[in-house]
Structure 1
Amino acid sequence: MFIFPRRLASTAALVGLVSLGLTACGGTTKDSAQQGADPKASAAAPASADPNAPIKEGLKIAFLPKQINNPYETIVDKAGIEAAKEYKGEAKEVGPSDASASSQVSYINTLIQQRQDAILIAANDANAVCGPLKQAMSKGIKIVAYDSDAAKDCRNLFINQADSEEIGRSQVKMLADMIDSKGEIAILSATANATNQNAWIDFMKDELTKPEYKDMKLVKVAYGDDDDQKSFQETQGLLQAYPDLKGIISPTTVGISAAARYISGSKYKGKITLTGLGTPNQMREFVKDGTVQQFALWNPKDLGYLASYSAAALASGQITGAEGEKFTAGKLGEYTIGKDGEVILGAPFVFKADNIDEFDF
């Protein structure tokens, strides 16, 4: 079983989390500093961090989720907005209603025109957003990817909810424990281009090559596009196409809840083992009715909070995104930037019947 790392909030602090959203930020420091400057020249110049620099007041930051109506990302983004109030910044959430590869591009362009100090993005496609993100960086706007990474040369930092390898391998281990490491399994993912999903799935596939899983077979990776109805239908399709299926891993909050809803009202309840990544409030009824034994997640509120503070640290010059730099993320404490500008929130936590009522988010 996983436990929350030191930096994550305690169980008591987690209770009471609710779905949250981002508010608009406004600041003037960047505008005046860049008047008459060559944006591309300034972006190319080597930057130096001043860890003692104060966070600037009035920073404007914007969260751009995969899609605006994703319940999980609403929690993340609203927490980031609340964090901005702590350092006297202004934050907002904008984004598309669908999670297609190019749907975020027009929003990035608008945020550039609005002269945001930082854009925080959960990328639907690592490369599709790269051009406009580079344009934003050339104008001095800091780019923080969170949840799902953008290409490394198109952002300053990536706030990773947990180590990708740990997530992928732990999902296989959790399912294997519940099905005695035997039988056909499937994966119900989000979109085919989602960076985080693909990284996790690659590690799942690699984990399955180990001798202890020789009696488990991955028969299909299906994509629900982080759409509730499509994920519901994909679950139905998997169970009809593979009558010997024993388990499904759905590492997406939309997918796992849609799959659980289908299974709970079908003849497959009690016969198919479902696990993945979900929020306690989404999954509580399915754990209590026996559809799902256990699933995992991190604290999405802490993810948004950390992302918000990292953007403020970047925009204030405390950090540049270089490996080894440190910054303080409010109540979460100090974090160190790792390789390729990655900051890891912490390890995932396993939710099950005996602990799920301790959490409310």
Structure 2
Amino acid sequence: MRDSRFARFLALLFAVVLGAAIVTGCGSTKDDSEGSGSSGGAAASDDGASANANAQIKKGLKVVVMPKQLGNPYEELEDKGTVAAIEETGGTAKIQGPTDASASSQVSLLRSITQQKPDAIVLAANDPNAIAPVLKQAMQRGVKVVTQDSDAAADARQIFINQATTQSIGEQLAKQAKEVGGEGEVAVLSATANAPNQNAWIKIMKEELKKPEYSGIKLVKVAYGDDDDQKSFQQAQGLLRAYPNLKAIVSPTTVGIAAAARYVSANAQYKGKVGITGLGTPNQMRKFVKDGTVEQFALWNPEDVGYLGGYAAAALASGQITGKEGETFKAGKLGDKTIGANGEIVLGPPTTFTKENIDDFDF
């Protein structure tokens, strides 16, 4: 009898231990691996959170600012604006970025930054999906994530600062191709093949070029200079040699447009015959406008993009906003801003620069 009771006790004990093991195995921990599902990740950590528009910005916030690539003139302007905003709110900002414009380099840095647990990360993404898992890990640990200029997957950040609408930029690029090149062959000199903002703009541009008013324009090639000055210069050279009838190069990247303009400016057989346009900064492009290489180009103020990103990060980390559509916050000198669909905040339309107005701008 005693042996029977002992056997039943062992069986009951085994069942309890087995049940506990099953429950533990079905659970998830705070530090799930980067390979976890994309839809149920860190973005859900703010579900149910409520904003307090009257909350004060916390003092002493620590923010990490990550450009696509260190040494990129455009990114430096953008990050300058972000740092200025964070310091205005009483926080500190540290710039950490890769030396090359690759997603893998950003991922490695983000892993290290996540371990430091800053209050927020503000970054321009080199690839929307490749960096998503590590951003979700950061969000799971309470780090607020703001993307600016170039977005990550929507569930891997709370807010995206868009320079202008994707549609308006793509339309602008198509319009520039026609106004600068007239009718004939045009090419695009982009940044990296995976750059989400560049690809979105080019996609819209291609759709625009299908319209009747652009029937005389043929897009012959999209080349990639990887936002590297020398490679972009070589790509511009290759386009002009491969397509001797090329009428224009449209470059939606500040590195690419400057490199293409430099090549055309130095070669008499192309100067005045091949139009260079796209997105660039006035200070970077002024000499090419004045020497007749470039008739027009466009851009927003990169510092304002970064400045808005910095204030959004401070508002997020302070509980003023959570990233939901319709929430508002004060963005310093830029005034009140409202969050749109999918956590997007649009800075405003780009400005077109020509020889008539380029000296009115200094950035």
Q: Which category of TM-score, normalised to the shorter sequence, fits these structures?
A: 0.7 to 0.9
Out of 17, 32, 48, which is 1:46 matched to?
Answer: 48
**1:101 CA displacement:** 2.3
The residue aligned with 1:111 is 113
What percent of counterpart residues are identical? 62
C-alpha displacement of 1:113: 1.4
- Structure 1 position 270 matched with structure 2 position 275: no
Q: Is it true that 1:79 corresponds to 2:90 in the alignment?
A: no
CA contact 2:181–2:274 (8 Å) conserved in 1:
no
Q: In 1, distance between residues paired with 2:289 and 2:45?
A: 50
Shift of 1:179: 3.1
Determine if contact 1:39/1:140 at 8 Å carries over to the other structure.
no
The amino acid across from 2:138 in the alignment is A
Q: Distance in 2 between matches of 1:39 and 1:139?
A: 8
- Contact kept in structure 1, 2:253 and 2:280, CA below 8 Å: yes
Which residue in 1 is equivalent to 2:37? none
The answer to which structure, 1 or 2, has the higher relative contact order (CA under 8 A, 6+ apart) is: 1
Q: Distance in 2 between matches of 1:244 and 1:212?
A: 21
**Deviation, structure 1 residue 359:** 1.2
The normalised TM-score by structure 2 is: 0.87
Q: 1:38 offset after TM fit, Å?
A: 5.8
Aligned equivalents of 1:256 and 1:318: distance in 2?
Answer: 39
In 1, distance between residues paired with 2:202 and 2:80?
28
- Conserved? CA contact 1:43–1:139, under 8 Å: no
- Higher-Rg member (1/2): 2
Is the partner of 2:329 in helix, strand or coil? strand
Output the CA distance in 2 between the equivalents of 1:237 and 1:179: 18
The residue matched to 1:350 in structure 2 has which SS? strand
Cα deviation, 1:36-81, whole Å, max 9, x if unaligned, reads x968899265211111111100011111110011110001101211
The equivalent of 2:240 in structure 1 is 239
Cα distance in 2 for residues equivalent to 1:269 and 1:174: 17
Contact 1:188 / 1:255 at 8 angstroms: preserved in 2? yes
Instruction: Report the count of equivalent residues.
Output: 324
**1:352: which partner in 2?**
354
Partner of 2:72: 70
Residues 279-290 of structure 1: pairs in structure 2 closer than 5 A: 279-290=281-292
Partner of 1:26: none
- Structure 1 or 2: more helix by fraction: 2
Residue 338 of structure 2 corresponds to residue 309 of structure 1: no
2:352 counterpart SS class: strand
Query: SS at the partner of 1:178?
Result: helix
* Alignment check: 8 A CA contact 2:276 2:294 kept: yes
**In 2, Cα distance between equivalents of 1:97 and 1:138:** 27
**3-state SS, counterpart of residue 99 of structure 1:** coil
Deviations 1:99-151 (A, max 9, x none): 01211011111211111000011000001101110000000100001010000
Contact 2:63 2:121 in 1 (8 A): yes
